[in-house]
Amino acid sequence: MNYLVLVFLYLSFGAFSISAQIAEKAEDISPLLVGETIPDFELKASDGSADIVLNIIREKPTVLLIYRGGWCPFCNLHLSEIQGVQNEVVDLGYKIIAISPDSPENIRSTDDEHELSYTLYSDSDGKFIEAMGLAFKAPDKYSGMLSERSNGLNNGLLPVPSVFVVDTSGKILFEYINPDYKTRISAGLLLAVLYELKKD
């Protein structure tokens, strides 16, 4: 399993900072690492109801998808691809959740359009994404759209799309992070990782 972690952990971020911050560009982020615990922030479901991250994952180990928003075609393709293996993921004892800076209304539209059977959550102000060390300053061309998509709460940050596997305490068991938003971990590769984690 250590081999898999090393293969998919993006290792050229530069120095890792102790405190989360918004990086100047995607290549400069300082994400949380395998073995660390994800932060306990409030997220909102598509109906506007709020819940705490660690409450959401308490029942089962979780595959946590961080995506840019329903406006991103690469994110939508990945969400749909993961949907295709959702039953296998559940059979292995995991659940899937996905988080973006979109508002609850916009994640509902994404959910409806792609008929996802796992739950999407809103981190409109980006506080969870920032605390994960995944946030960077969005190019100026995105600022108006990001503000609109978040009901005015996103002041111009984007997350580097990422996949984490966490246990029920929030400890990170695996992560795939790539500053190239066009490159995502495949559903098949994710299943291989989950099978390996079940062996440990």
Residues 57-69 have pLDDT tens digits of 999 999 999 999 9
Digit-coded pLDDT (tens) for 131-152? 999 999 999 999 899 999 999 9
Q: Roughly how many angstroms between the first and final C-alpha of the chain, as a whole number?
A: 8
Choose between 1 and 69: higher pLDDT: 69
Question: For 167-191, what is the mean pLDDT?
Answer: 97
Q: What is the pLDDT of residues 4-49, one digit of tens each?
A: 443 444 433 433 433 457 999 999 999 999 999 999 999 999 999 9
What token pair was written down for 139?
């190019």
- Is residue 194 packed enough to be buried (19+ CB in 10 Å), middle (13-18) or exposed (0-12)? buried
pTM across the whole model: 0.89
pLDDT of residue 17: 39
Distance CA 56, CA 17 (A): 27
**Which pLDDT score, from 0 to 100, does residue 82 have?**
97
Residue 120 burial class via C-beta count within 10 angstroms: exposed 0-12, middle 13-18, buried 19 and up: buried
Q: Give the pLDDT confidence score for residue 20 in this predicted structure.
A: 56
For the chain, domains (ranges, CATH) are 2-12+26-199 (3.40.30.10)
Contact 23, 15 (CB under 8 A): no
